[in-house]
Structure 1
Amino acid sequence: MTTKIGYARVSTMDQDTDVQVQALRDAGCETIRTEKASGTTTNGRPELASILEFIREGDALVVTRIDRLARSIGDLQVIVKTLREKGAALVCTEQPVDTGTAAGKAFLDMLGVFAEFETNLRRERQMEGIEKAKARGVYKGRKRSIDREEVRRLHREGMGPTEIAQRMGVGRASVYRVIRGE
């Protein structure tokens, strides 16, 4: 008997997985794992890693769309290879993906290419927007999260960078940058 394991992912904390979870339930998933993490990498996605580690022969990993699983063709191919090696399948509820056929594999690869292309376009648009904002003097970057004067004062009083970082709850590298005057 095939066990259907659902995987739902959104990119940001203010998004929710409710629609995906319902679609996965409707597809017959007994287990559904969710996470809020970027799809541009498989790093930092413990739920996906857990599924790939424990999925068994005959099981199916079910997602609503390929871009919920991966937004890079390289990551997608690694995931599919892992599933294939374990004798598991990949199923999409909204796209006709069947990793057992040549046509299905080609379609899967095309979806992966388009997901990666979309990510790259979004990144380019974001960088263009930042450059335009900088040119208008509107974009200043992230606000500083460290009190530079306090770092300098503590350092003058003889406190070391590690102790300053611990006391202020900031990274040691940030303290070093302030001390060096960067």
Structure 2
Amino acid sequence: MAQLGYARVSTRDQDPTRQHDDLAAVGCDRVWTDAGVSGTTTSRPQLDALLDYARDGDTIVVTELSRLGRTVRQLVVLVDDLGARGIGVRSLTQAIDTTPGQGGGIGTLLLSLFAALAQLEREVLVDRTMSDLAAARARGRVGGRPTVLPPDKLAAAHALLAAGTPKTEVAAALGVSRSTVYRAIERERVAMTAGVR
């Protein structure tokens, strides 16, 4: 039953010494450190090595939960996977410990509550965004990046294509990429099919 420390800094300029000191102070037997690795990065070599090394009864200790992952969903999935292997997770800053026999049930409950709140926040954000987009469309506004091919250039593209000019040459003549011409024509076709101009 070992306490295994994990430290992570996002850039190579940052110093993980404080994390190492805090992990050593609580009695971590060994510390794995990822340097220059963002929390959103899926591949964290030292964390992967730690996860391979950890055994049933061990506890992975971090100074704060954000060292293990940037999103609550990442954390919950990781903690669930570790819990199924009999491995606990302890955060020093948040005072959460999922280790069986060390208040593990309460720690897991807290993480689950965080996950539920994060999910609710995501759903509210999506609903709000969709409502705002619908209101904008009702006022005749369409979101997104403005088209690179305004109506006059699109009309010129149609005229050149109707004359048999290859799309690559049409794009060069208009000063845009060939994919821009394809997208503009496709967007116009979809809009016409939907009855919108």
CA distance in 2, matches of 1:125, 1:66: 24
Which segments of structure 1 move beyond 6 Å, counting only runs of 4 or more? 18-21, 149-152
Counterpart of 1:126?
125
Gaps of 5+ in 2: 25-29, 169-175, 191-197
- Output the aligned Cα RMSD: 4.7
Q: Does the 8 Å contact 1:60/1:89 carry over to 2?
A: yes
Q: Does the 8 Å contact 2:61/2:92 carry over to 1?
A: yes
Q: Deviations over 1:67-109 (max 9, x none)?
A: 6546234443113334x3xxx54221131415131x6221122
CA distance in 1, matches of 2:110, 2:140: 37
User: 1:1-182 maps to which residues of 2 (within 5 A)?
Assistant: 2=2, 4-8=4-8, 22-23=18-19, 25-28=21-24, 30-33=31-34, 34-37=37-40, 45-47=42-44, 50-57=48-55, 60-66=59-65, 68-69=68-69, 71-72=72-73, 73-82=76-85, 84=86, 89-94=88-93, 95-101=95-101, 104-134=103-133, 135-136=135-136, 140-143=142-145, 147=148, 157-158=166-167, 178=184, 180-181=186-187, 182=190
Gaps of 5+ in 1: 38-43, 160-166
- TM-score using structure 1 length: 0.54
CA distance in 2, matches of 1:139, 1:53: 50
Q: Does the 8 Å contact 1:7/1:32 carry over to 2?
A: yes
Identity, in percent, stands at: 14
Q: Which structure's relative contact order is higher, taking Cα pairs within 8 Å and 6+ residues apart?
A: 1
Of structures 1 and 2, the larger Rg is shown by 2
What SS does structure 1 have at the residue aligned with 2:44? helix
CA distance in 1, matches of 2:145, 2:60: 42
Cα distance change of structure 1 residues 139 and 148 upon mapping to structure 2, 3 Å threshold: closer
Q: Residue 78 of structure 1 aligns to which amino acid in structure 2?
A: D
What SS does structure 1 have at the residue aligned with 2:103? helix
- TM-score using structure 2 length: 0.51
What SS does structure 2 have at the residue aligned with 1:99? coil
1:115, distance to aligned residue in structure 2 (A) = 1.7
